[in-house]
Amino acid sequence: MTSHQNAAGWVAVVLAAGRGTRMRSRLPKVLHPVAGRTMVRHVCEAVRAAGCEQIVVVTADAHDEVAEAVRASIPGAVIAVQGEPLGTGHAALAARAATGDASRVLILNGDLPLLTERTVRELMQRHDASNSMLTFLTAFLGDPTGYGRVMRRMGKVVGIVEETETDATTRGTPEVNVGLYAANAEWLWPTLSAVTPSPRGEIYLTDIIARAVEHPEGAQAYTIVESAEAQQVNTRVELSRAEQLMRERIRERLMLDGVTLIDPSTTYIDAGVIVGEDTTLLPGVHILGESQIGGGCRIGPGAVLRDMRIGDRCEIGGSTLEGSSLADDVTVGPYSHVRPDSTIEAGVHLGNYAEVKASRVGARTQVGHFSYIGDSDVGCDVNIGAGTITANYDGVDKHRTVIGDGAFIGSDSVLVAPVTVGAKARTAAGAVVTHDVEAGSLVLGVPARVRPQREGV
Ligand code: UD1
Ligand code: CA
């Protein structure tokens, strides 16, 4: 199934309205991040990647945190409201109207962040290729605790026993219900409507499996070999397991794509991060958010990069870089901080203890040692002396500093914004620059003035 065309007639229903009480959190369960992305986003992205465009997410309220997060991160997804969380079957029914005339329905629990596109696609294909009313995913786990157990008689699936309803004989059953189902709509909706509440007062989606068995074509199970995909998240212990599994998966993908990880276990990379070939990540590196790193870079040890765009051949010593871009051949740190909205052009050197915020730093410019460059536009081939400060804040407002191409800012200069230093101008060491400096001139002193012309000088 490679195109949307093949997934035509399918709609996915993602269940995300549960209270998630076992998480003991104020944040709804499906919004807890795994490798930097919410669980519900992971699930929806696997569905989309599998070719199913139409997604209905069931939430407790049309405008709660989950609904808003889905609107922001899953374009085109439709919200269906469950209201009272009366069980997974009740949640699926809440999506019925929103699924329109789709003939096949994929139902997924929202707490399965490790499900892959491949597995989702495979399940849909198997369902399409069969006459079953229902195809669902199972896995064999060393420890099945917390999952519904799959009951078989003479090899045939006969139903699911939920964790709370297991007894001494069913508890040890290693085959579990993962929480991914494909069903024929015309069978699913009436069947689900007929399910009666469990002893705990919930309508279990899993009860439709026993119903499907009554049908001649029955239910078929598709068992995955890669049991990591079955990792659900009910508690924070499971959340940490899912996080670990996801990070391992991401690291392996990067290594197979040509990235060297010196110590994978201490290298943290969020889902969706792109890293180019022959980049080396040293121990203790974190690459987070929507970062894209070029090839041939050397990063770390101990660098934290969030939402960064980085070109090729950059060298980044243990530094923190956020929400900014670095062109090719930039060197940073160690111990530098690039704050959001900064554009660092090719060949720039930001040395130790350089802080840059909301600034452009032009090509080949050197900021060798402890400096603060904020709200500034620094040209190309500028030298920023050690200890240079752009004093951008007057206590009320922020102001901009402009430094022209080829300027030389002497050590310990303070540039009191708003101020412009012209191209090729110079400031002497210790200058406090309160007025604009003309191109090509030299200023010195406190406050800085143009050097008086003396005879013979
Ligand atoms: C469910 C399955 C179980 C399976 C397990 C693995 C049922 C009855 N049991 O159990 O067989 O082994 O998942 O993934 O389905 N939700 C709602 N509304 C509700 C209740 C839940 O939207 O009223 C959502 C939750 O937000 C969650 C998903 O449904 O994303 C699954 O709910 P959860 O409580 O985690 O089900 P489990 O008890 O784990
Ligand atoms: Ca669960």
Give yes or no for a contact between 405 and 424, defined as CB atoms under 8 angstroms apart. Answer: yes
Q: How far is the CA of 322 from the centre of ligand 2 (A)?
A: 34
Domains of the chain: 10-230 (3.90.550.10), 243-450 (2.160.10.10)
Most distant CA atoms of the chain, gap in Å: 109
Q: What is the pLDDT of residue 218?
A: 87
**Cis peptide leading into residue 216 (ω within 30°):** no
Q: What pLDDT does 433 receive?
A: 98
Give the type of residue at 177: N
Cα 193 to middle of ligand 2, angstroms: 22
> Does this model's pTM top 0.85?
yes
How far, in Å, from the CA of 12 to the mean position of ligand 2? 18
Q: What is the three-class DSSP state of 269?
A: strand
Ligand 1 atom 22: residue of nearest CA: 17
Peptide bond preceding 190 in cis form (omega within 30 of 0) = no
Closest approach atom of ligand 1 to CA 58: 22
Residue 250 and residue 267: Cα distance in Å, rounded? 10
- What is the best residue among 25, 88, 224, 236 to mutate for testing ligand 1's pocket, by most ligand atoms within 8 Å of CB? 88
Alpha-carbon gap, residue 155 to 132, rounded angstroms? 16
Spell out, as residue ranges, where the chain has pLDDT lower than 70: 1-6, 452-457
Q: How far apart are the first and last CA of the chain?
A: 80
Q: What pLDDT is recorded for position 129? A: 96
Residue 10: beta bridge partners?
Answer: 104
What CA–CA distance (Å, rounded) separates 209 from 239? 28
Q: From ligand 1's centre to the CA of 15, what distance in Å?
A: 8
What's the CA dihedral at 434, 440, 445, 451 to 10 degrees?
A: -130
Site to substitute for ligand 1 among 15, 19, 109, most atoms within 8 A of C-beta: 109
What confidence score (pLDDT) does residue 453 get?
62
Q: Among 320, 245, 328, 317, which residue's Cα sits nearest to residue 280?
A: 317
User: pLDDT tens digit string along 195-231?
Assistant: 999 988 999 999 999 999 888 878 999 999 999 999 9
From ligand 1's centre to the CA of 178, what distance in Å? 10
Q: Give catalytic residues, as residue numbers.
A: 369
Residues 105/11, Cβ–Cβ less than 8 Å:
yes
Residue ID of nearest Cα to ligand 1 atom 36:
88
The residues lining ligand 1, judged by C-beta closer than 6 Å to any ligand atom, are 15-18, 30, 58, 82, 85-88, 90-91, 109-112, 147-148, 160, 162, 176-179, 204-206, 232, 234
Ligand lying nearest the CA atom of residue 176:
1
User: Which residue's CA is minimally distant from atom 37 of ligand 1?
Assistant: 147
